[in-house]
Structure 1
Amino acid sequence: MASQMTEMLKGTLEGIVLAILADRPAYGYEITSRLRDEGFTDLVEGTVYALLVRIEQRGFVDVKKVPSEKGPPRKVYSLNRQGRTQLGEFWKTWSFLAERIEHLHRNESHSNEGE
């Protein structure tokens, strides 16, 4: 199941991170911690940082460097207008897919009842 979870997560992680940033700005480690708190315990920190680079390049976030007590400045990511639009599209797509998958699951469950 772990590999299936990893593959499914790859397709949805961007939307999940955008949803976290919709709540409030955060830096990479905060985002990783929040994901782990939400149950994504096997998520590798490097995966999140690579994703943050991509969403920054795609223009979905604004980045501000803030001083850190423990070393170099931290990059704090905040969702911008384009990111909010992308997140809205993610939720529409997610709702559509979730409904279709649940429909298939219910039909599959009903067809197995007679066995």
Structure 2
Amino acid sequence: MCRMTKELPATGDQRRSQLLRGVLDLCLLSLIAERPRYGYEFVEALDHSGLELVSEGSIYPLLARMERAGVVESYRAPSSSGGAPRKYYRLTTAGRDELTRGRAVWAGFTTQVGRVLNDQRKDQTGESDDDR
């Protein structure tokens, strides 16, 4: 006998976290494309952009996977504060190509999802965004 379990709807933060998990690698590639960065700079930049749900603990394993995949490479440079050298990440040629492809996929995906969500809202209210 198959038993279905009822899951509670995701809260706003849970949904945002789930969505972000799917595109965090793309966000990191985009930030690295601006300039090489070290770990905590990613957290600061994402937080500044309103994506405060990301911790260093989720960024470092992803950066390591991205490095193994050949889309980023790392190097050590002296810390501006005089501490231990920091590990910076920069894009490889493969990383730039992946960012270009990822941006195109994201643009198409958000357009399609937006269409579904907006069509559903129009069906429920009887009016489109243009009517408001």
Letter in 2 for 1:84: R
Q: Whose helix proportion is higher, 1 or 2?
A: 1
Partner of 2:45: 34
Q: Does 2:29 match 1:21?
A: no
2:108 counterpart of 1:70: no
User: What is the aligned-residue RMSD (CA, Å)?
Assistant: 1.4
| 1:46-91 Cα distance to aligned partner (Å, 9 max, x none) | 11111111111110112111123223x2111111100001101111
Q: Give the aligned length.
A: 114
Deviations 1:17-36 (A, max 9, x none): 00001111111111111111
Q: Structure 1 length as normaliser, TM-score?
A: 0.92
List aligned pairs for 1:1-115, cutoff 5 A.
1-68=12-79, 69-71=82-84, 73-114=85-126
Query: RCO (CA 8 Å, sep 6+): is it higher in 1 or 2?
Result: 1
For structure 2, the 5+ residue unaligned runs are 1-11, 128-132
Name the SS for the 2:102 alignment partner.
helix
- Unaligned 5+ residue runs, structure 1? none
Structure 1 residue ranges (4+ consecutive) displaced by more than 4 angstroms after TM superposition: none
TM-score normalised by structure 2 residue count: 0.81
Q: Aligned residues: percent identity? A: 31
